[in-house]
Structure 1
Amino acid sequence: MTPALDLAGIFVFALSGALQGVRKRLDVVGMAVLAFFTAVGGGITRDLFIGVQPAAFRDTGYLLVPIAATAIAFFWHPQVERAMPGVLVFDAAGLGLFCAVGTAKALAYGLSPLHAVLLGVCTAVGGGVIRDVLSGEMPTLLYDRQLYAVPAMLGSTAMAVLYALDIRGFAATLSSAVLAFALRILAMRYGWRAPLARGVGGPV
């Protein structure tokens, strides 16, 4: 992933974290904490599992972008909330990019395809789990409203398959990311969600 795309994905995820802080009536510090961990929490978790220094601790952009997203949400959250349908499209793009890149990085460090897929999903959705836990919400990962983890898993699996076929680099990343993005957009459009256990109603 190019640095520009990486930071764009981080910005969108950070914005969702900051907006969660607004909804929870947190102060600006709480908003910034949610923005930071939503944006880079999944990548930090992945890198710690792999055993490398997290990229978020090497590049100041990973800190400055969440701060910028926090400032935008702090001053203009009503306008950002109204623009959320458009923001969710970028969020879906970030989901696709992060699952593909996370899987590729895990594979490059010698992990098995299965473990690489798990870390790819972790990269894409881990920040959202941290956001929900810190803000006192049930993580959406646990009930996957409108299919969030499933597209990430599909994109990560596609990346692992392409890697095994020796198809790597930009083409593999783009193909896997588009696959996850498309499924996420379709899920939002048609209200798809993962099935519940037989006879069980929706989340309480």
Structure 2
Amino acid sequence: MIAALDMASVFIFALTGALVASRAQLDIVGFLFVASLTAVGGGTLRDVLLNRDAVFWVADPAILWAAAIPAVLVFFTAHLLESRLTVLTWLDACALAVAVPAGVAVALSLGQPAGVILIMGVSTGCFGGLMRDVVCNEVPLVLKQGELYVTCAFAGAGAAIIALQFGLDEQLGLILCGLTTLALRAGSLAFGWRLPVYKARAPRR
């Protein structure tokens, strides 16, 4: 389950990284770099923080092909898309819904407490995309004003923890995690769901 989730999140996040590279008009090496950074960034941070025996893509280098192939594919086909930004945001939502359960699953397999599980789910889901946007000088999706992103990852990981507390099977908990994350992120994109944002006010005298 962990290997499958990691592979799927790497593939989809690599697509988003390559699409951002296309918007920045990078060369093929740039595509490969940004796609790989996006694909493995969150999982690498997770594995380093959890002190796993080996970072997931070091333990299984074949995972890097799941980042390289989408990069090359997008390099030759991105011009066919009517709106790369729209495709990017929806693919990113799907990637988030896979990466958060991957982070939760790894933390669970190592017997971590609920707080660590929550943070690992959020970190795995969010940091690859954050690195991608910062490197390519884009406004990070994670930080866009009021938009549900980290909230979706937090809610998804929390749903998994609550499900396990009520005795649900771990796989069902991970499925619930992914569905919760995707539902909230899709709602944010499709219906404009937002969190209230801070607005500066004149100080009272």
- TM bucket normalised to smaller: 0.7 to 0.9
Q: What are structure 2's unaligned runs of at least 5 residues?
A: none
Q: Which residue of 1 aligns with 2:168?
A: 167
Q: Which residue of 2 aligns with 1:20?
A: 20
Contact 1:141/1:149, CA 8 A, preserved across alignment? yes
Partner Cα distance (2:104, 2:193) in 1: 25
Q: Which residue of 1 aligns with 2:178?
A: 177
* Percent pairwise identity: 31
Contact 1:104/1:159, CA 8 A, preserved across alignment? no
Are residues 1:103 and 2:104 paired? yes
Query: What does the per-residue CA deviation read over 1:3-22, in whole Å, with 9 as the maximum and x for residues that have no partner?
Result: 45543332221011111112
Q: Which residue of 2 aligns with 1:141?
A: 142
* Between 8-17 and 101-110, the greater mean CA deviation after superposition: 101-110
Contact 2:161/2:173, CA 8 A, preserved across alignment? no
Could you tell me how far 1:83 is from its partner in structure 2?
6.9
Name the SS of the counterpart of 1:196 in structure 2.
coil
Contact 2:17/2:34, CA 8 A, preserved across alignment? yes
- Computed over aligned residues only, the root mean square deviation of the Cα atoms, in angstroms, reads 2.3
**Counterparts in 2 of 1:39 and 1:144: CA distance versus 1, 3 Å:** farther
TM-score using structure 1 length: 0.86
Partner Cα distance (2:127, 2:27) in 1: 23
Name the SS of the counterpart of 1:136 in structure 2.
coil
Could you tell me how far 1:111 is from its partner in structure 2?
2.6
Q: What are structure 1's unaligned runs of at least 5 residues?
A: none
Q: Which residue of 2 aligns with 1:39?
A: 39
Matches within 5 A, 1:1-204: 1=1, 3-4=3-4, 6-52=6-52, 53-80=54-81, 82=83, 85=86, 88-143=89-144, 146-199=147-200
Could you tell me how far 1:125 is from its partner in structure 2?
1.0
Partner Cα distance (1:147, 1:59) in 2: 33
Could you tell me how far 1:102 is from its partner in structure 2?
0.7
**Counterparts in 2 of 1:171 and 1:122: CA distance versus 1, 3 Å:** same
Question: What is the letter of the counterpart of residue 42 of structure 2?
Answer: G
Could you tell me how far 1:43 is from its partner in structure 2?
0.6
Partner Cα distance (1:144, 1:106) in 2: 30
* Between 181-190 and 138-147, the greater mean CA deviation after superposition: 138-147
TM-score using structure 2 length: 0.86
Partner Cα distance (1:85, 1:140) in 2: 13
Question: What is the letter of the counterpart of residue 190 of structure 1?
Answer: F
Could you tell me how far 1:131 is from its partner in structure 2?
0.6
Count of aligned pairs: 200
Partner Cα distance (2:15, 2:196) in 1: 29
Contact 1:36/1:63, CA 8 A, preserved across alignment? yes
Partner Cα distance (1:149, 1:45) in 2: 16
Partner Cα distance (1:4, 1:80) in 2: 28
